[in-house]
Structure formats: C-alpha cells, structure tokens
Structure 1
C-alpha cells in the first residue's frame, strides 16, 4: 500500500457506492474482511477506503496500478462469488464508476 493520498496518474480508481440491506450486517462484515484480505494479496493493489454517510450510503474507493490488474481483481473467483452474494443478500442498491487517474498531487508536498 502506498502512503495515504499518494495516488499516481494512470492508476485505476473504482468508486463503489452502495446501501446495505437492514439484515446484511453480520454476514457482510465477514465477506468484506475476506475480500479485503484477498484484494491486498492481488498484484497491483494500491489502496482501499470505505466511508459511510449519515444517510447510510457507503462509498468504497479501490485503487489498482493498472486496468489489467483491476480486471484480474474483478474476475477473481472468490470476488465473483462475493459479487453474487452482494446482489442476492447484502445490497439494496449500488453503482460503480471506474476511472483512470489523470492527475494527482498532495498537500503538503512530499
């Protein structure tokens, strides 16, 4: 993992916005922890953060070094099973945006 906020141009940034079903929490936490452990072991993994808004919306930001590495994560068999579980059991709704970082800077300058 890189230093906090130290992303770089060319990296792939996935923004996953979601809402959990009211009864999803116990099962969800175990699957989410397993997926984070799996993602961190993937080549090209850079960072993962999750934020929860007051209204319950969750925003996860996942960063990989390249599009190929992000696709490998998307297609990973354990991740595919978790995606299916998300649709069937965990999420009431979600959306995803995948972008290439075109510029990056930080304050204070490192």
Structure 2
C-alpha cells in the first residue's frame, strides 16, 4: 500500500484524526492494523494515510465518498470497541475533524 491514498476526483470527505499516544503498545498496533483492514472493506471507503512520530504524536486521514459512509464506519461495532479502548488505554488526547475535499492535487517525479 502506498503512503498516499489514491483518491478519486473531488468532492469526497476526509476524516482527520490527530492524536497523542500513551506509553506502551497495549494491543494498539494489532488493533490499528485490524481497523485499517476493516475500514478498507466498508462501502464508501476511499483510502487512508497515517504517520506517527517517536514522540507519540500522530495523524491519520481517512477518505470517504460520503458523510453517510463516515457515519456507518463510526457506528461499526468493532470500530466502537476500538474507540472505547482508545479513550481508556491508547490516547492521552486526540482531535477528530471531518472536512469536505473540494479540490486536490498531486506531485510526483
């Protein structure tokens, strides 16, 4: 999988999740991998880009066809389990933002 998501021509939606991790893995890595795999099978999922620094700060941007697809993912039972564990175990803080992508561009050598 490429670091940059292969998104369609706009408009589409971006869910931007910025976070600071707590110490230790505590099952986070496995759950994160499972969530990406599960999200990629959801209707309306377009792609994901994610990065985390050694300081524990990270950002994940997932791309979706519609707000309805985003809501369905938010309400998915296994995703809700991960959300609860995130609040109780994995994150010391996070911010979630949803934006409509009106235009985009890509540079490649």
**Equivalent residue number for residue 93 of structure 2:** 93
User: What is the root-mean-square deviation in Å for CA atoms of aligned residues?
Assistant: 2.0
Separation in structure 2 between the aligned mates of residue 81 and residue 56 of structure 1, nearest angstrom: 22
**Equivalent residue number for residue 53 of structure 2:** 53
Which whole-Å deviations, capped at 9, do the CAs of 1:1-45 have from their partners, x for residues lacking one?
A: 9xx45433221101100011002x141011111111110110111
Q: 1:1-110 to 2 correspondence within 5 Å?
A: 4=4, 6-7=6-7, 8-23=9-24, 25-53=25-53, 55-107=55-107
> So what's the TM-score if we normalise by structure 2?
0.86
Separation in structure 2 between the aligned mates of residue 54 and residue 47 of structure 1, nearest angstrom: 24
Q: Is the 8 A contact 1:64 1:70 kept in 2?
A: yes
Q: Is the 8 A contact 2:74 2:80 kept in 1?
A: yes
Task: Give unmatched runs, 5+ long, in structure 1.
Answer: none
Task: Give unmatched runs, 5+ long, in structure 2.
Answer: none
Q: Is the 8 A contact 2:26 2:89 kept in 1?
A: no
Counting matched residue pairs gives 106
Q: Is the 8 A contact 1:15 1:60 kept in 2?
A: yes
- C-alpha displacement at 1:105, in angstroms? 2.5
